């Protein structure tokens, strides 16, 4: 039986021109019963220096893995089912940052790992409102990373 204690994919996240100190990593773990466990850690998120120092940020998987700044070639949210927002496969839980740092772990069954390889993980400047079409009014794309297979622990 295959063990899933190591991530089979990752995305190294870098900030845009306005947020050069933004960096982080997302790990993607296959789950034996289907779906994916997503673990994300991000530093250098922009925030207002007034209490409570915390802010939500949108996070989505986009169609293409082109993270050239200003991240305008990433396409729309990954949405193979043609569903309305927020039911796109690429609609993820928001990040909660505190003083520019965010850590998140969650499970999703909206996709399997092979489907998202080569796509981009995007961090947005504002939280997703889960209503506005087509993408939740999440603001500027401030961080981007290409989802890449982990050659040390590949899917197959």
Residue 85 has pLDDT above 50, yes or no: yes
CATH number of the domain where residue 106 is located: 2.60.40.200
Question: Per the domain annotation, does 17 fall within a domain?
Answer: yes
Q: Please give the pLDDT value at position 137.
A: 87
* pLDDT at residue 1, as a whole number: 37
Cα 3 from Cα 31, distance rounded (Å): 9
How many structural domains are present in the chain? 1
Is the per-residue pLDDT at 135 higher than 50?
A: yes
Instruction: Return the DSSP state at 133.
Output: T
How many angstroms separate the most distant Cα atoms in the chain?
51
Mean pLDDT of 104-108: 97
The band of 156, judged by pLDDT with boundaries at 50, 70 and 90, is low
The helix or strand, by DSSP H or E, that contains position 154, with its residue range, turns out to be none
Under the banding of pLDDT at 50, 70 and 90, the label for residue 63 is very high
Is 2 part of a structural domain of the chain?
no
Q: Which of 12-16, 17-21, 30-34 has the lowest mean pLDDT?
A: 30-34
pLDDT confidence bin for 100, thresholds 50/70/90:
very high
**Could you tell me the residue range of the domain that residue 109 belongs to?**
9-149
Q: For residues 76 and 63, what is the distance between their CA atoms, to the nearest angstrom?
A: 6
In a domain, 154, yes or no: no
- Could you tell me if residue 125 is inside a domain? yes
Q: At 12, which helix (H) or strand (E)?
A: strand 9-15
* Structural domain includes residue 3: no
């Amino acid at each position: 039986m295959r063990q899933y204690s190591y991530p089979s994919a990752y995305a190294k996240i870098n900030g845009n021109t306005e947020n050069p100190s933004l960096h982080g990593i997302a790990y993607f773990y296959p789950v034996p019963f289907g779906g994916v466990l997503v673990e994300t850690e991000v530093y250098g998120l922009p925030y207002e220096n007034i209490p409570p120092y915390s802010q939500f940020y949108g996070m989505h998987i986009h169609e293409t893995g082109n993270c050239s700044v200003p991240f305008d070639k990433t396409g729309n949210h990954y949405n193979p089912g043609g569903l309305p927002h927020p039911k796109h496969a690429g609609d993820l839980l928001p990040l909660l940052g505190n003083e520019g740092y965010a850590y998140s772990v969650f499970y999703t069954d909206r996709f399997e790992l092979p489907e998202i390889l080569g796509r981009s993980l995007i961090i947005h400047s504002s939280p997703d409102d889960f209503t506005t079409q087509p993408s939740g009014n999440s603001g500027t794309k401030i961080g981007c990373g290409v989802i890449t297979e982990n050659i040390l622990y590949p899917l197959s």
